[in-house]
Structure formats: C-alpha cells, structure tokens
Structure 1
Amino acid sequence: PAQAHAGAQTAAAAEILAGSAEVFIIRHGERADRANNRDDGWIDDPPLTKEGRQTAKSAGAAMRSLASLPWAPAVYSSPYYRCLQTANELAAELGPPVRV
C-alpha cells in the first residue's frame, strides 16, 4: 500500500510539473481560540469556529465550480484538528477522502 501511495504521489507531481494539473492551496478556517480571544485549554490544536467550517465548505463549492472538468480531485491535510476539519469540509464538496 505504501508503494502504491508513493506512486500516486509521484504521478500527481509529474502532472503538476507538466502543467496539466490545477492546484489549490487553502489555509484552515477561523480558529476558535483566535475568534474568542482565549485559548479555552487548546494549547496547540484548537478547532474551527462554526464560521470557519462554513467558510471551508464554501471554498470547496467554489473550487468545484472553478476547476476544469473532467478532473480527479485530491485533498491533503496536515494532522492538526483545524486543518482536518477544513479538509473534511472541502472533501465533502469535492468527493475524495482526505489524505493526511
């Protein structure tokens, strides 16, 4: 499985370098600690606010409408909770599972 994943990543990188792929880079949505101006016990990994989740969902819908068709989207995320929440909202709009 690891070799297949590495092969898929290599193929995706080749498409990008050949100019035949579209890449969207999205930063995570609004963090709960920053919105509330307090940490609420989240030292390094706060969740998104409701608005942050909605923004991510809207970004996914916009990406779906802007991307050239046909296309095979892939959603990658860091393991931080807020990033995973953002990626899950994007993936819900775009279709693929999130890859960490």
Structure 2
Amino acid sequence: MLLLRHAQSEWNVHFGATRVDPGIFDPPLTEEGEAQALAAAQELRGKGIRRLLASPYRRTLQTASIVARELGLPIAVEPLVRERCAFSCDQGSPASTLAGLWPELDFAGLEERWWGKVVESTESLRARADLFLGKAARMVDRDTTAVVSHWGFIRCVTGQEVGNTGAVRLRLDRPAPAQMRNA
C-alpha cells in the first residue's frame, strides 16, 4: 500500500509563510497544488496502482481526483485516513456538500458532520490508525492501492514526515514503527 500526502492547499501556503493558523476551513488546492497532483500522477504511472482511497477533505479529494483522471483509477472515500483534527483546515465540509462537488463518488457511508469536534487526542488518532491498519491488512488489493491522506495520519502510521505529494510505502506485514506509539 502506498500512502500519498495531498498536494499544496491554500492553508499550507499561509501557514508555511507565517506559522499562524490562517482560519481557512477545508481548504482547496492552490494552482501549484494542482500541478503537484498532476506530477504525482506521473510518478505513480507504472507503479501498479489500481485503486485510490481518499480522506474526505477537499484537498485530498482534489488530489485523488487529478491522479484518478490521469491514471484512470476509481476512488473510494475512506474517513479513517482523515487528518487529526487540530487546525482550522481540519474542519471539513458536510457530506452533502462533498457529494455535490464530487457526484461520481460515494459518500453514503459518511456522516453529514464526519470530522472531529475538538482537537483529536493522540490516543484517538492512534486508535483510528489501528482501525485502518487492520482494515488495510485484510484488503486483497492492498499492494495495488494508494491512499491519499495527510501529514499527521501518515506520520502516525509510518513515523515519517512527508511534504505535499510525498509518498511512503506502508508495509502491512510487520508491526507499526515505534514512532506510531509516540505520535
């Protein structure tokens, strides 16, 4: 399984420049982010990816949509791989709004307000990551699946910090790294 961080969002640009939360809820990709997603699709070409799972935030859905369009892949929405709720960007959009923006995707299993209400604890993030890892280990197509997710979630399950559209191979045949326990 390949974990891919979403492309650059409007929130990333502002926070990166100031280190102050700019108050942008569920931010879209920037033009640079769209170009990054296109480049990520080209990097994935020939790697045997046959399906995408995507977190329900706009930035991950946009990234996944660009990759899927370029590579002819289906996308499934997977709320377990969402970001840890800690900043304004982690306030999502209602499922009905997302369904209007991406009518080709199935949001039926997503609660209308699916993101965290308060800052998510480390223990909660670890428990959610464990649920996903268990689910992923049972997927027969896990070796041909890419997951479009977030910095915090990817760090939790791999111990690695990746930049926008950075990719990490998730090995499901061995225990999670020590960093996951300390995330």
1:72 to partner: Cα distance:
6.0
Comparing both structures, which one devotes a greater share of its residues to strand? 2
Please give the alpha-carbon distance, in whole angstroms, between the structure 2 residues aligned to 1:80 and 1:73: 21
Q: Quote the sequence identity (%).
A: 38
RMSD: 1.9
Aligned residue in 2 for 1:57:
38
Deviations 1:31-60 (A, max 9, x none): 102213473x622x1111111111111111
Unaligned ranges ≥5, structure 1: 1-22
TM-score by length of 1: 0.62
Aligned residue in 2 for 1:75:
52
Counterpart residue identity of residue 79, structure 1: P
Deviations 1:53-89 (A, max 9, x none): 1111111111113x1xxx4610110110000001001
Aligned residue in 1 for 2:10:
32
Larger RCO (alpha carbons 8 Å, 6+ apart): 2
Please give the alpha-carbon distance, in whole angstroms, between the structure 2 residues aligned to 1:34 and 1:72: 27
Runs of 4+ in 1 over 6 A off after TM superposition: none
Please give the alpha-carbon distance, in whole angstroms, between the structure 2 residues aligned to 1:86 and 1:32: 13
Q: Which moved more, 1:76-85 or 1:24-33?
A: 24-33
Counterpart residue identity of residue 88, structure 1: S
Unaligned ranges ≥5, structure 2: 16-20, 78-183
Please give the alpha-carbon distance, in whole angstroms, between the structure 2 residues aligned to 1:49 and 1:72: 25
